[in-house]
Amino acid sequence: MKISRKQSEEIDFLEQHFVKSKVSQEEKEDYVRWTVLGKGKPIIRAGDEGADRLMLAKRGLDITVKMWTEDIRNGLLFAYELTDMKRGGYGHPYADKVVKGILSGVNFTKAKIGRGMPSIVFANAIQKIAIKNGTTK
Protein backbone atom coordinates (compact mmCIF):
# COMPACT_ATOMS: atom_id res chain seq x y z
CA MET A 1 0.00 0.00 0.00
CA LYS A 2 1.30 3.45 -0.92
CA ILE A 3 1.35 5.93 1.94
CA SER A 4 1.20 9.57 0.83
CA ARG A 5 3.60 12.26 2.08
CA LYS A 6 0.79 13.86 4.11
CA GLN A 7 -0.13 10.54 5.75
CA SER A 8 3.52 9.76 6.38
CA GLU A 9 3.97 13.15 8.07
CA GLU A 10 0.96 12.49 10.33
CA ILE A 11 2.19 9.01 11.21
CA ASP A 12 5.68 10.36 11.95
CA PHE A 13 4.20 12.98 14.31
CA LEU A 14 2.04 10.42 16.11
CA GLU A 15 4.97 8.03 16.33
CA GLN A 16 7.31 10.67 17.82
CA HIS A 17 4.97 12.42 20.23
CA PHE A 18 2.23 9.96 21.18
CA VAL A 19 3.41 6.38 20.57
CA LYS A 20 7.05 7.18 21.42
CA SER A 21 8.33 4.04 19.76
CA LYS A 22 8.78 2.72 16.24
CA VAL A 23 5.63 1.33 14.62
CA SER A 24 5.68 -1.45 12.07
CA GLN A 25 4.87 -1.01 8.39
CA GLU A 26 1.81 -3.22 8.93
CA GLU A 27 0.52 -0.85 11.66
CA LYS A 28 1.06 2.12 9.32
CA GLU A 29 -0.85 0.41 6.52
CA ASP A 30 -3.68 -0.59 8.88
CA TYR A 31 -3.89 3.00 10.11
CA VAL A 32 -4.05 4.43 6.58
CA ARG A 33 -6.55 1.77 5.52
CA TRP A 34 -8.79 2.66 8.46
CA THR A 35 -8.47 6.47 8.28
CA VAL A 36 -8.70 6.79 4.49
CA LEU A 37 -10.82 3.86 3.38
CA GLY A 38 -12.77 3.19 6.57
CA LYS A 39 -11.69 -0.44 6.45
CA GLY A 40 -9.81 -2.46 9.00
CA LYS A 41 -9.70 -2.31 12.77
CA PRO A 42 -11.89 0.26 14.54
CA ILE A 43 -10.42 2.48 17.25
CA ILE A 44 -10.53 0.61 20.53
CA ARG A 45 -9.82 1.52 24.14
CA ALA A 46 -6.31 1.50 25.56
CA GLY A 47 -5.60 -1.75 27.36
CA ASP A 48 -7.78 -3.84 25.05
CA GLU A 49 -5.95 -6.81 23.63
CA GLY A 50 -4.65 -6.01 20.16
CA ALA A 51 -5.05 -2.25 20.51
CA ASP A 52 -3.45 -0.51 17.55
CA ARG A 53 -0.99 2.05 18.88
CA LEU A 54 -1.39 4.51 16.00
CA MET A 55 -5.17 4.50 16.23
CA LEU A 56 -5.00 5.10 19.97
CA ALA A 57 -2.43 7.86 19.39
CA LYS A 58 -4.74 9.51 16.84
CA ARG A 59 -7.60 9.34 19.33
CA GLY A 60 -5.37 11.00 21.93
CA LEU A 61 -4.34 13.68 19.41
CA ASP A 62 -7.99 14.40 18.55
CA ILE A 63 -8.79 14.99 22.23
CA THR A 64 -5.65 17.11 22.65
CA VAL A 65 -6.52 19.25 19.61
CA LYS A 66 -9.97 19.95 21.09
CA MET A 67 -8.30 21.14 24.29
CA TRP A 68 -5.82 23.27 22.32
CA THR A 69 -8.70 24.85 20.40
CA GLU A 70 -10.51 25.80 23.60
CA ASP A 71 -7.33 27.11 25.21
CA ILE A 72 -6.42 29.21 22.15
CA ARG A 73 -9.98 30.55 21.98
CA ASN A 74 -9.84 31.51 25.66
CA GLY A 75 -6.38 33.07 25.42
CA LEU A 76 -4.70 30.47 27.60
CA LEU A 77 -2.48 29.09 24.83
CA PHE A 78 -0.71 30.68 21.89
CA ALA A 79 0.12 28.98 18.61
CA TYR A 80 3.85 29.59 18.97
CA GLU A 81 3.79 27.52 22.17
CA LEU A 82 2.84 24.52 20.05
CA THR A 83 4.92 25.19 16.95
CA ASP A 84 8.13 26.88 18.15
CA MET A 85 10.51 24.20 19.37
CA LYS A 86 12.69 26.79 21.14
CA ARG A 87 9.71 27.66 23.32
CA GLY A 88 8.80 24.07 24.15
CA GLY A 89 6.62 23.39 21.08
CA TYR A 90 6.63 20.36 18.84
CA GLY A 91 8.68 21.80 15.97
CA HIS A 92 7.11 19.35 13.53
CA PRO A 93 5.48 20.18 10.16
CA TYR A 94 2.35 18.23 11.10
CA ALA A 95 1.96 20.25 14.33
CA ASP A 96 2.18 23.42 12.23
CA LYS A 97 -0.64 22.15 10.01
CA VAL A 98 -2.78 21.21 13.00
CA VAL A 99 -2.31 24.66 14.55
CA LYS A 100 -3.11 26.39 11.25
CA GLY A 101 -6.31 24.34 11.11
CA ILE A 102 -7.19 25.32 14.66
CA LEU A 103 -6.58 29.00 13.98
CA SER A 104 -8.64 28.94 10.80
CA GLY A 105 -11.59 27.52 12.76
CA VAL A 106 -11.40 29.65 15.90
CA ASN A 107 -13.78 32.59 16.02
CA PHE A 108 -11.59 35.22 17.65
CA THR A 109 -14.42 37.72 18.04
CA LYS A 110 -16.10 35.33 20.49
CA ALA A 111 -12.92 34.68 22.46
CA LYS A 112 -13.40 35.16 26.18
CA ILE A 113 -11.50 38.13 27.55
CA GLY A 114 -10.72 37.96 31.23
CA ARG A 115 -10.04 40.91 33.49
CA GLY A 116 -6.56 42.29 32.87
CA MET A 117 -6.33 40.59 29.48
CA PRO A 118 -7.87 43.11 27.04
CA SER A 119 -5.56 42.25 24.16
CA ILE A 120 -6.22 38.49 23.85
CA VAL A 121 -8.35 38.88 20.71
CA PHE A 122 -5.73 41.14 19.14
CA ALA A 123 -2.86 38.80 20.11
CA ASN A 124 -4.66 35.79 18.64
CA ALA A 125 -5.39 37.71 15.42
CA ILE A 126 -1.69 38.64 15.12
CA GLN A 127 -0.80 35.03 15.82
CA LYS A 128 -3.14 33.87 13.06
CA ILE A 129 -1.54 36.26 10.55
CA ALA A 130 1.98 35.19 11.56
CA ILE A 131 1.21 31.52 11.05
CA LYS A 132 -0.50 32.22 7.73
CA ASN A 133 2.60 34.11 6.55
CA GLY A 134 4.93 31.45 7.95
CA THR A 135 6.78 33.89 10.20
CA THR A 136 6.49 31.86 13.42
CA LYS A 137 9.62 29.79 12.86
Q: For residue 67, what pLDDT is reported?
A: 93
Mean pLDDT, to the nearest integer, of 123-129? 62
Q: For 8-53, write each residue's pLDDT tens digit.
A: 999 999 988 888 788 888 888 888 888 887 776 665 655 554 457 8
Q: Is 14 exposed, middle or buried (0-12, 13-18, 19+ CB in 10 A)?
A: buried
Q: Is 133 exposed, middle or buried (0-12, 13-18, 19+ CB in 10 A)?
A: exposed
The 10 Å Cβ neighbour count of residue 61 is: 19
Model-wide pTM > 0.75: no
Give residue 14's domain range. 5-133
How many domains does the chain fold into?
A: 1
Q: For residue 74, what pLDDT is reported?
A: 83
Q: For residue 119, what pLDDT is reported?
A: 43
Q: For 52-101, write each residue's pLDDT tens digit.
A: 788 888 888 999 999 999 888 888 888 888 888 777 778 888 888 888 88
User: Is a pLDDT exceeding 50 seen at residue 103?
Assistant: yes
